[in-house]
Amino acid sequence: MDYFLIITILVGLSAAFGYINVRFLKLPNTIGLMLITIVFTLGVFALSYFDATLLNAERYIIKQIDFKTVLLDIMLSFLLFAGALHTNFEQLKIQRWPVLVFSTFGVLVSTFLVGTVMFYVLPLLGLQVNYIYCLLFGALISPTDPIAVLGILKKAGAPKKLETKIVGESLFNDGVGVVVFLTIFQIASFGTENIEVVDIFKLFGQEVIGGIVLGGIIGWIVYRLMKSIDDYDIEVIITLAGVMVGTAVAHQFHVSAPLAMVTAGLIVGNDTVRGSSMSEITESYVDKFWELIDILLNTLLFVLIGMEMLVLAMEGKYIVAGLLAIPIVLACRYASLLGPIGFFRKRLDFVPKTNLIMTWGGLRGGISIALALGLSDEMYRELFLVITYVIVVFSILVQGLTVGGLIKWVQKKGLE
């Protein structure tokens, strides 16, 4: 089966499931697509008791796709650029310090809290896991997923300044989270005796600072090229080339492609830059093009997430560990936000229950699954993959469906 046929099948399923959701369920696309895909996959499992042809075909398709490479090396750059392009730059500028602290300090604290708690909880289920591997799990599950967050918050009616904090944090913390994961991954692979502290800071600095600098350069080049011409077709292609070339360069020089694309997207999407480099028709075409890219890749992503359950080792202990991990991850995120929110509350006008909303609205998605798929067998890949999948499904279906109600409840309480 060639790649064109696999992509055709995935796009066909995405279109069919998307139609069912919009026509009948009327859920946010992220939630509806994942729910329908999971139900479809469970139906395929049930059908396999009579005829395994469809199950085998679906498993074959999933095994042909390197989910980690497809998401982290290809799709993520496009999705983050599209998300950053439509982010309110002025609000983000006002909220820059809390966003920066949430996406760095918050991710690090959450990583160590989750890793430490899981290290003591897993033995209760008869699962003895080294501390460094528990930290790896903490690193992959701590970043919130901007792809999931952006789609759901748009329909949740969150106050703009709160939405900016959550979306801004999600746009940056996945890049930081990937770097933290890679750092701990190297320590776990080579041992602490072969890694010096300076190497850790060098890797972190190269990935993070290098990614932001590269993104600034790409954004500036795209801006200058668009400003020098007035042809909306070519200008759209220039933005596309900026993402593709920027991602390729980031991979070549081992800097963070996600952070580079977020930075480039924020520069190109800035109102000041838009006003001086794009005509009204160009701005409309650029926005519509990247909205379409965003919707298409989102649709494919959450169909793929739903289908990933076909290749999981669904052992009872693993599922129980996943269910126990849900409140642990939520509690650790809440705790990791206490310090930053307390520090900035008096300086910036935070809405009531910001910590609660950011905890419940900080959804996990494809990034966590992609990182879990990158674990090796000795790092308890199957265990952490199942735990991650359980958390992601809960996050998208339960938290995603209820975060809008939580926001409305908080707003109502604030008015009373």
* DSSP output for 334-354: HHHHHHHHHHHTTTTTPPTTH
Alpha carbon distance 231, 122 (integer Å): 59
Question: What integer pLDDT is reported at residue 137 of this predicted model?
Answer: 97
Residue partners of 220: CB distance under 8 A and separation at least 6: 267
Residue partners of 297: CB distance under 8 A and separation at least 6: 75, 78, 79
Contact 354, 99 (CB under 8 A): no
Residues in the chain, overall count: 416
Question: What integer pLDDT is reported at residue 154 of this predicted model?
Answer: 66
Among candidates 244, 273, 271, which has minimal Cα distance to 260?
Answer: 244
**Encoding tokens for residue 91?**
């609000």
Alpha carbon distance 238, 240 (integer Å): 5
Query: In Å, how far are 3, 92, 240, 298 from 293, measured between CA atoms?
Result: 19, 23, 10, 8
3-state secondary structure 118-187: HHHHHHHHCCCCCHHHHHHHHHHHCCCCHHHHHHHHHHHCCCHHHHHHHHHHHHHHHHHHHHHHHHHHHH
Query: In Å, how far are 133, 161, 188, 206 from 325, measured between CA atoms?
Result: 15, 30, 22, 32
Contact 90, 302 (CB under 8 A): no
pTM: predicted TM-score of the whole model, two decimal places: 0.91
Element housing 22 (H / E): none
Contact 243, 152 (CB under 8 A): no
Q: What is the DSSP letter of 312?
A: S
Which tens digits make up the pLDDT trace of 55-109? 998 888 888 888 888 888 889 899 889 988 988 777 788 888 888 899 999 999 9
Element housing 79 (H / E): helix 76-85
Residue partners of 242: CB distance under 8 A and separation at least 6: 81, 218, 219, 221, 222, 264, 268
Sign of CA dihedral 120, 125, 127, 133: negative
**Encoding tokens for residue 357?**
């909303």
Question: What integer pLDDT is reported at residue 77 of this predicted model?
Answer: 92
Question: What integer pLDDT is reported at residue 194 of this predicted model?
Answer: 65
Alpha carbon distance 41, 7 (integer Å): 18
Coil, helix or strand for 100?
Answer: helix
Contact 403, 357 (CB under 8 A): yes
Alpha carbon distance 357, 333 (integer Å): 11
- pLDDT by residue, tens only, the chain of 416 residues: 578 998 899 999 999 999 999 999 998 888 899 899 999 999 999 999 998 888 998 888 888 888 888 888 889 899 889 988 988 777 788 888 888 899 999 999 999 999 999 999 999 999 999 999 999 999 999 998 876 776 677 666 677 777 788 888 888 887 888 888 988 888 888 776 666 677 777 777 888 899 999 999 999 999 999 999 999 999 999 999 999 999 999 999 989 999 999 999 999 998 888 888 999 999 999 999 998 998 888 889 889 999 988 888 889 999 999 999 999 999 999 999 999 988 887 777 777 888 998 999 888 988 899 899 889 889 999 999 999 999 999 999 999 889 888 888 887 776 55
Contact 242, 218 (CB under 8 A): yes
**Encoding tokens for residue 10?**
């995935």
Question: What integer pLDDT is reported at residue 171 of this predicted model?
Answer: 84
Alpha carbon distance 260, 209 (integer Å): 9
Alpha carbon distance 194, 354 (integer Å): 42
Alpha carbon distance 34, 396 (integer Å): 8
Q: Give the chain's domains with CATH numbers.
A: 67-294+366-382 (1.20.1530.20)
Question: What integer pLDDT is reported at residue 257 of this predicted model?
Answer: 93
Contact 177, 140 (CB under 8 A): yes
Query: In Å, how far are 16, 237, 370 from 300, measured between CA atoms?
Result: 12, 22, 14
Coil, helix or strand for 314?
Answer: coil
- Given 3-state DSSP classes, what are the helix, strand and coil percentages for the chain, each rounded to the nearest 5? 85, 0, 15
